[in-house]
Amino acid sequence: MKAQRSQSTPTTNRTGGASSASRGGKKPVAYGALYEAAADQELGADKSALWLPGEDPGKYQFAEDGDDAGGTGTAQRKTQDAKLPELREKHAGTQYMDYTQGQAFVKGAADQGAVDPNDVKQGALGNCYLMAGMAAVARANPSAIEKLIKDKGDGTFDVTLYLRKSAYGRPTPVTVNIDARLASKYAGSPIYAGIGDAEGGKQEMWAPLIEKALAQQKGSYDKISGGNIAKDGFNFGGATELLTGKIENYYNMDRLDEDDALLTVAAALESKKPVTADTRNIEGDEALTKEATSKNVYWNHAYAPVSVDLEGRTIDLQNPWGSSHVDKLPVSLFVKYYRSIRVNG
């Protein structure tokens, strides 16, 4: 479902700092890794190299994504003790607004549960790796998302993410306390991850809360954009690992044939494992770019597969923007446009 914008007005202002089925076949070899990719070059690409153990640092490049939406309404609302994460430089001066009607989870009219992949809406931050990961986990194991956030009932939330103390260490749960304030240019419309469902006067905030918790861990939103996520000594093993604590496996599309690619995605979906796929960087080929974008495939961008038609040999993928999804993409084009598949667990 499309994003629903609430008309309620945030109160407290504060300026932020500057199908599915599987069948037998070859099993490709997996290895752990993750890169962040995004499509919109308009925001100013910072294609920084993301180094991961055993990988070529020149292999991962990142761009910025498209520009763009809880707490409780108690009498005495608290704010987080920690300093609010700094905003991207271009958003310096944007106010943090308190979403007094926000709560972590709201079940939309068309949702199967309180956590639904359609709650994910990427904003003006090049973190499609994270947003696609959220959608993938929400699809495969929504209870895993619910376990990450505890509403304290006072306007703050405890948010748990799985972090590594070292590059080769196991991910362990780390909890931060954050409040319901989000950087917003307009009432009810955060500039980064968007509000999910809005029902009964409540605004769903699990996606922006997770995004804010990660920015809190790194000190700023800019530091979780693109290749910045793995800088400053932050040992990042993948978005789905961050959300589940389970290792993320990487499948290089250049090592897969069409059957391998189709079955890898189908098996992950069938076994309820979060799965994402990211596109190649072929921006210099105008003809191919036009061909791909006509099918809603954008370079340097991460998607969350939705379903596989094994007989029709097509794949549907969710765009974390919340729109421009990929429908019935032939597997021949999937291996042509995409450079990797990532499966959690």
Tell me what pLDDT residue 265 has: 98
Domains of the chain, by residue range, sit at: 1-345
pLDDT in tens, 221-267: 999 998 899 998 899 999 999 999 999 999 999 999 999 999 999 99
Average pLDDT, the chain: 84
Q: pLDDT band at 283, cuts 50/70/90?
A: confident
| More confident of the two residues 295 and 38 | 295
Is the pLDDT score of 101 beyond 50? yes
Of 201, 204, 203, the C-alpha closest to 145 is: 204
pLDDT in tens, 299-329: 999 999 999 999 999 999 999 999 999 999 9
